[in-house]
Amino acid sequence: MGREIDRGIIVVLDGAGVGAMPDAAEYGDEGSNTLVNTARALGGLSLPNLQLMGLGNLAPIPGVPPRSDCTASYGVMLEKSKGKDTITGHWEMAGLITERPFPVYPHGFPKDIIEAFEKAIGRGTLGNCPASGTEIIKQLGEEHTRTGKPIVYTSADSVFQVAAHEDVIPVGELYEMCLKARSILTGEHNVARVIARPFAGQPGSFRRTDCRRDFAIPPPEPTVLDALRDAGYEVVAIGKIGDVFSQHGISKSVHTEGNLDTIRRTVEAVETAGRGLIFSNLVDFDTLYGHRNDPKGFGYGLMEFDEHLPDIQEAMRDDDLLIITADHGVDPTTPSTDHSREKVPLLVWRRDRAECVNLGERETFADIAATIADLFGLDPWPVGRSFLLEVIS
């Protein structure tokens, strides 16, 4: 199979889940369905390009009816890993199943962790509670600018987030603080990600900047990205992908500033990259809309991506393979502001095969890793089931 296709392109619509997982009740996520509920809240969505690919064949999405003449292969994928966060979702796509969920802190971090962090950075902290990132800088931003103490907070996900005004704690210094936190958060407190959250502006109008950076734990085992790079293929990470994998298995990492910039950088990579994998994450769905319970914004983001999807397709070569998916849900219509345990969409397209193929319900996101390994003629991936034959035959 490795000689059939030159390049794989994976585009992750961060948080765009398509229905509650069978075990969603264990996570408090019964009834979550990010795409369907968002469309319903808006009275329908207009997504003609995604509809043409078969998005409406996955679920009853208002405004996006099914098509029997769709141009892509379509299906849904279930998550085998424990959890519902960015790390577990992306790692599973790359062929690594997380058997034990990462620790979460619904009541804030233990006193000894905070004390160790304060000692390491030489100053006190504010917050230490679960919070929305935009709300906590509204609440504590002014005190932070007066005292110089960084704001520490978490969420329902396994994250240790540090917010600081760029004029009070320069971005480089904030990154150093996060690296110190990363070295402290080990063992039973091995959180999935330490996240730097710089912000700017004045009291009453604070805004987060695009200098966010994630310091994730490295994958405990090689992923298909490592296998690709070791075999001499190029792996281009766009958006937060490089951070999610701690740069493991990455040939080139491209920082982006929002969805439109990520789409633009993805098109550039498709136009110029050599044989290998282009892996992009469109984070605005999650950070700007899902976590803020903003279905209108989420719907706008979907329509914006749909409008620019042809730019990616037109840049592709005849033998490229495009995979559009998500890493979890983040239903903006539920009371929760956190991720939701959901199935994710799977749309697979190539220019020279416009055929509507139902890939069904896949048992694991790792089917993507198995397909990528198959695509490039690597050894069969130990988890997941390749769908390559179904989309190229």
Angle between helices 259-272 and 295-315 (to 10 degrees): 10
What is the pLDDT, as a whole number, of residue 101? Answer: 86
pLDDT given for residue 335 in this prediction: 92
Question: What per-residue confidence (pLDDT) applies to 354?
Answer: 67
Residues of the chain predicted below pLDDT 70: 1-5, 354
For residue 155, what pLDDT is reported?
85
Q: Compute the mean pLDDT over every residue in the chain, rounded to the nearest whole number.
A: 95
CA distances 213 to 99, 169, 303, Å, are: 26, 15, 27
Confidence at residue 13, expressed as pLDDT on a 0 to 100 scale: 98
Query: Residues spanned by CATH 3.40.720.10 within the chain?
Result: 7-96+219-392
pLDDT in tens, 354-380: 689 999 999 999 999 999 999 999 999
Sequence-distant (≥ 6) Cβ neighbours of residue 393 within 8 angstroms: none
Domain with CATH 3.30.70.1250 in the chain: 111-216
Q: What is the pTM of this model?
A: 0.89
Q: What is the 3-state secondary structure (H, E, C) of the chain?
A: CCCCCCEEEEEEECCCCCCECCCHHHHCCCCCCHHHHHHHHCCCCCCHHHHHHCHHHCCCECCECCCCCCCCEEEEECCCCCCCCHHHHHHHHCCCCCCCCCCCCCCCCCHHHHHHHHHHHCCCCEEEEECCHHHHHHHHHHHHHHHCCCEEEECCCCEEEEEEECCCCCHHHHHHHHHHHHHHCCHHHCCCEEEEEEEECCCCCCEECCCCEEEECCCCCCCHHHHHHHCCCEEEEECCHHHHCCCCCCCEEECCCCHHHHHHHHHHHHHHCCCEEEEEEECHHHHHHHCCCCHHHHHHHHHHHHHHHHHHHHHCCCCEEEEEECCCECCCCCCCCCCECECEEEEEECCCCCCCEEEEEECCCCHHHHHHHHHCCCCCCCCCCCCHHHHHC
pLDDT computed for residue 4 by the predictor: 52
> CATH second-level architecture of 111-216?
2-Layer Sandwich (3.30)
The CATH H-level (homologous superfamily) assignment of domain 7-96+219-392 is Alkaline Phosphatase, subunit A (3.40.720.10)
pLDDT digits (tens, 9 = 90+) for 58-89: 999 999 999 999 999 999 999 999 989 899 99
